[in-house]
Amino acid sequence: MSDNSHARIDIMDVPQLDRDAAGLIKGIQRHYLRTLGQHTSSRSNHYKYQALAYTIRDHLMENWKNTKDACSKQDGKRAYYLSLEFLMGRALGNAILNLGLDDETADALHQLGLNYEEKIEMERDAGLGNGGLGRLAACFVDSCATLNLPVTGYGIRYEYGMFRQLIQNGYQVEEPDHWLNYGNVWEITRPEYTQRVHFGGHSECYTDDKGMMRCRWADTQDVLAIPYDIPIPGFENNTVNTLRLWKAAATDEFDLGEFNAGSYPESVAAKNNAEHISMVLYPNDASESGKVLRLRQQYFLASASIKDVLRQWTETHGNDFSQFAEKNCFQLNDTHPTVSVAELMRLLVDQYRLSWEEAWDITTKTMAYTNHTLLPEALERWPVHLFGRLLPRLLDIIYGINAQFLTKVAEKWPGDVDRQRRMSIIEEGDVKQVRMAYLAIVGCFSVNGVAQLHSDLLVEGLFKDFYEMWPEKFNNKTNGVTQRRWMAWCNKPMTRLINDTIGSGWITDLQQLRQLAPYADDDAFRQKWDACKRENKVRLAKLVQDTCNVEFNPDAMFDIQVKRIHEYKRQLLNVLHVIHLYDRIKRGDTANWTPRCILIGGKAAPGYYMAKQIIKLINNVADVVNHDPDVGDKLKVVFFPNYRVSAMEVICPAADLSEQISTAGKEASGTGNMKFMMNGALTIGTLDGANIEIREEVGDDNFFLFGLTAAEVDSIRGHYDPNGIIAADEDLRRVMNLLECGHFSQFEPGLFAGICGAIRNGNDPWLVAADFRSYVDAQQRAASAYMDRTSWLKKSIYNTAFSGKFSTDRTMEDYNREIWKLTPITPLSAA
Ligand SMILES: *Cc1c(COP(=O)(O)O)cnc(C)c1O
């Protein structure tokens, strides 16, 4: 140690920051000039955002340090949320809200002559996820910080996040999202915690110094994992947790042979290859990709994160792992990080020299798995030959786990060879595959679904064999969303009204919103509620005008479906209804008409042909509808481009009607449905995912239900007759006719033949035609209900009032009570 321990001043003894406007102004000025080197004629507005962001970040830093100190001091159990996706969106507004600095920031910016909203909008979304699964991870870490739970998020710092979606000639065009262009104020790199991750090579056996037979992984090609830490502030509680994202980098060992032979470029090329691992997020939602690079990403995250946890453990406990399982828990967000099961085994056995049995005991007490889908195409499997080439030692271990597991199956069901084949982690066949979900179930002590229906269907169907073996592993954890971002931040008008009415306790205890219910009968309150909703609709209308050049009348019903474009989510059913409304207008059937503005948005996976065709159809229908003078203000339709977190922050507060219309049994939970409900939208939906629980909470009168149940969907297979349904339904027949006669593809006849064929196909898995009639009827009930203003406003208020269950605070409390069992940390006070 070269530093003098007789210091007279502690380097950590930093003066307190002033939390008033004057203090913020000082910070902004200082960062603008001294951190960012700006001058009077700065060319970019971005630096003013950055100066504000650095100033706000300053206020997080001490609490971040204090949270780490409190965590070490307490030395309690910790949990790690492993996820290939964190769809964080913007951080600045959330930090301001959670620090309780909203008014002071507004004041400071006002004094500096800077526009608050404009500065907020300079920040690029951190779009490190596809959709619901990634956004769930973001809401989870927010709630854990607010609940003082010692939970660290582990993910990948993708250089390019979710692609930016442009619409050209009605088609989706993808553009790379280089979100780090201007740097990222919120990340702090920690090169001292860099980890080495192995790939390739081979496994070999040897005799160790004690004469024991051991295995090791030799001749590997290594990649460095460099951590970038992002602060995750809790709400007004001085806790700041950590999201640690790994960036891949080449080791600085050059190939000396090539270097000396004068091949400098060749010897540096390896660097490029290593850095590919964290280059780009795979843009597939709810479907596997099967690419080697994706498996490299998965193992990169798993290995770096587990090594990081073991590093922290051994720093305080040496090589004594007897307490490890009592003090650590890994939550796997879907099967994506499931190779963690094998990696923890490998490290404990090969590196720390535990016996297989000891290591297995620890692994199966620390790993927990969350399943996110019932769609068979999303169940990850890796070809054994590919897996073995990339991760040979991990494949050995998986074979070891499988052998031991199949012995247990054989003991429990002697002679049931078919069951062994069904349950094997290794799927036999022309191309042998590793079934990642089965590895997860075998290696984890907890397996949960994300809504009650989904959890029930898992144990009745997909995982039935495993449920029979280990019923105690299976449980439900209904998803949620954080009300800090999805109400308090994004819906300031309603937040103010609610705070004035019942106080602000709901921001950390969402069930308190129930106190709003009696106000549904208060006319003055209803008028104020209406005014808030209208203000939000005006804001969205402006955004729609600016981005789509279509005028939304804020007095019309705002009917909204935003989510990834997928056949099971049935944007197509929505379009059929739009065409039906258009047809009614054209034939003059417009008595008691409810004017509607319909907004549909979402990204399609770049390789998903049908989803991209559906986007084109929506755009073509919108074009015809919006330009037909007979239609006028009765109906407007837009496809909103580049749907993302920051767009949803404007969209959900403005919605009247929330479209949650998936084929029953296909949407595991949904969380968009919860954001809309919380913001006072009524749902039109099927009995699917969390819709069922939403309807239970708000009551049947305040929800527009339609469609087949999951059981009916199952039993209709084999005798589904869409052509019969179409022929028997005048409205649907006319809609199909408009589609098929090329009314929406005047210059490209036959453009939508694929879509029409899918609807007419008796094997249509999504049963679009089957639910058309009951959907249109439910839409008519919604339209009529909207015209009765008093009644609609009551229903809207009830939706918000009964959304308390759908906070991720509740979800995290459920995880903690039943899976993690962490003691909340007592944060040191900021002083
Ligand atoms: C909430 C959210 C989702 C999930 O929406 P679902 O309707 O549940 O599929 C997807 N993307 C973004 C940007 C979100 O905010």
- Provide the domain count of the chain: 3
The pair of structure tokens assigned to 217 is 């992984």
- Residue 644 CA, ligand 1 centroid: distance in Å: 8
Q: Does some domain include residue 676?
A: yes
Per-residue pLDDT, 162: 98
The pLDDT tens digits of the residues spanning 167-182 come to: 999 999 999 999 999 9
> Residue 734 C-alpha to ligand 1 middle, in angstroms?
33
Structure tokens at 139: 């809401």
529 in the same domain as 453? no
What is the number of the ligand 1 atom nearest to the C-alpha of 671? 8
Closest-CA residue, ligand 1 atom 7, reads: 672
**Does one domain contain both 474 and 525?**
no
pLDDT for 376 equals 86
Question: In 287-406, where do the E strands start and end?
Answer: 328-333, 367-370, 381-383
d(CA 629, CA 521) in angstroms, rounded, equals: 40
Give the residue from 157, 297, 283, 288 showing the smallest Cα distance to 605: 283
Q: What is the pLDDT of residue 270?
A: 67
**What is the position in ligand 1's atom list of the atom closest to the CA of 670?**
8
Torsions phi, psi for 659 (to 5 deg):
-90, 115
Question: Quick check: 263 pLDDT over 80?
Answer: no
Rounded distance from Cα 653 to ligand 1 centre (Å): 14
Check whether residue 333 and residue 401 sit in a common domain.
yes
Averaged pLDDT of the chain: 96
- Token pair, residue 304, equals 């770096």
- In the prediction, which pLDDT does 6 show? 79
Q: Which residue CA neighbors atom 11 of ligand 1 most closely?
A: 131
Q: Do 556 and 631 reside in the same domain of the chain? A: yes
DSSP state of 484: I
Helix H or strand E segment including 222: strand 221-233
Are 672 and 437 in contact, with CB atoms under 8 Å apart? no
Interval 464-505: pLDDT, tens: 999 999 999 999 999 999 999 999 999 999 999 999 999 999
At 321 the three-state DSSP class reads coil
pLDDT tens profile 643-700: 999 999 999 999 999 999 999 999 999 999 999 999 999 999 999 999 999 999 999 9
pLDDT reported for residue 258? 63
Q: Are 812 and 142 in contact (CB under 8 A)?
A: no
Claim to verify: residue 424 and residue 554 sit in the same structural domain: no
pLDDT exceeds 50 at position 738 = yes
- Distance (angstroms) between ligand 1 centre and the Cα of 662 equals 14
- Compute, in angstroms, the gap from residue 130 CA to the centroid of ligand 1: 9
- 762 and 706, same domain (yes or no): yes
Q: How far apart are CA 809 and CA 812, in angstroms?
A: 5
Using pLDDT thresholds of 50, 70 and 90, give the confidence band for residue 257: low
Residue 825 lies inside a defined structural domain of this protein: no
Give the residue, by CA position, lying nearest to ligand 1 atom 5: 672
| Same domain (yes/no): 84, 70 | no
Q: Is the pLDDT of residue 1 over 80?
A: no
According to the model, what pLDDT value does residue 256 have? 63
Q: Which atom of ligand 1 is nearest to the CA of 647?
A: 13
| Residue 432 neighbours by CB distance under 10 Å | 16
Alpha-carbon span 501 to 320, nearest angstrom? 55
Q: Which protein residue's CA is at the shortest distance from atom 3 of ligand 1?
A: 132
CA dist 221 and 224 (Å) reads 10
Nearest to 578 by CA among 602, 546, 614: 614
Smallest CA separation from ligand 1 atom 9, residue: 563
Task: Please identify every residue annotated as catalytic.
Answer: 372, 563-564, 569, 671, 675
Tokens of 50: 């950055």
Residue 252 pLDDT: 75
Nearest CA residue ID for atom 10, ligand 1: 131
* Residue 11: inside a domain: no
Same domain, 102 and 231: no
From residue 205, give the alpha-carbon distance in Å to each of 283, 350, 354, 404: 40, 10, 16, 20
Residue of the CA atom closest to atom 4 of ligand 1: 132
Q: Which residue carries 């280089």 as its tokens?
A: 178
Distance from Cα 693 to the centre of ligand 1, integer Å: 18
Q: Report CA(548)–ligand 1 centroid distance (Å).
A: 21
Q: How many CA atoms lie within 13 A of 386 on its CB side?
A: 14
- Residue at 53 is within a domain: yes
pLDDT in tens, 57-114: 999 999 999 999 999 999 999 999 999 999 999 999 999 999 999 999 999 999 999 9
262: tokens are 């004068």
Query: Would residue 524 count as lying in a domain?
Result: yes
Q: Whose CA is nearest to atom 1 of ligand 1?
A: 672
Residue 139 contacts residue 808 (beta carbons within 8 Å) = yes
For ligand 1, pick from 483, 564, 571, 691 the residue to mutate: most ligand atoms within 8 Å of CB: 564
On whether residue 811 sits in a domain, the answer given is: no
Ligand 1 probe mutation, 650, 667, 671, most atoms within 8 A of CB: 671
Question: What CATH number is given to the structural domain containing 281?
Answer: 3.40.50.2000
Within this chain, do residues 425 and 504 fall inside the same structural domain, yes or no?
Answer: no
Q: Which atom of ligand 1 is nearest to the CA of 602?
A: 11
Ligand 1 nearest atom to the CA of residue 669, by list position: 8
- The DSSP line for 629-691 is TTTGGGEEEEEESS--HHHHHHHGGG-SEEEE-PPTTS-S--SHHHHHHHTTPEEEE-S-TTH
Domain membership flag for residue 831: no
Give the three-class secondary structure for 234: coil
CA of 396 to the centre of ligand 1 (A): 38
Q: How confident is the model at residue 831 (pLDDT cuts 50, 70, 90)?
A: very low
Same domain, residue pair 678 and 708:
yes
456, 597: one domain: no
Query: What would the pLDDT profile of 559-593 be if each residue is shown by its tens digit?
Result: 999 999 999 999 999 999 999 999 999 999 999 99
Looking up tokens 């002033």, which residue turns up?
Answer: 18
Distance between CA atoms of 325 and 343, rounded to whole angstroms? Answer: 15
Query: Among residues 372, 425, 469, which one has the least CA distance to residue 670?
Result: 372
Which residue has the CA at smallest separation from atom 15 of ligand 1? 645
For ligand 1, the distance from its centroid to the CA atom of residue 475, given in whole angstroms, is: 23
Give the C-alpha separation, 317 to 304, whole Å.
20
> Cβ(466)–Cβ(419) under 8 Å?
no
Separation CA 119–CA 751 (nearest Å): 43
Mean pLDDT, rounded, for 361-381: 94
User: Which pTM does this prediction carry?
Assistant: 0.97
Q: Say whether pLDDT at 206 is over 50.
A: yes
Distance 799 CA to ligand 1 centre (A): 19
Pocket probe mutation, ligand 1, options 85, 86, 87, 688, max atoms within 8 Å of Cβ? 87
Domain membership of residue 812 (yes or no) is no
Residue 830 pLDDT class (50, 70, 90 cuts): very low
Name the closest-CA residue to atom 8, ligand 1.
670
pLDDT in tens, 131-155: 999 999 999 999 999 999 999 999 9
Residues β-bridged to residue 711 = none
Q: Which domain holds residue 232?
A: 75-90+125-478
What pairs with residue 112 in β-bridges? Answer: none
472 and 521 inside one domain: no
* Ligand 1 site residues, Cβ closer than 6 angstroms: 131-132, 135, 563-564, 644-645, 648, 670-672, 675
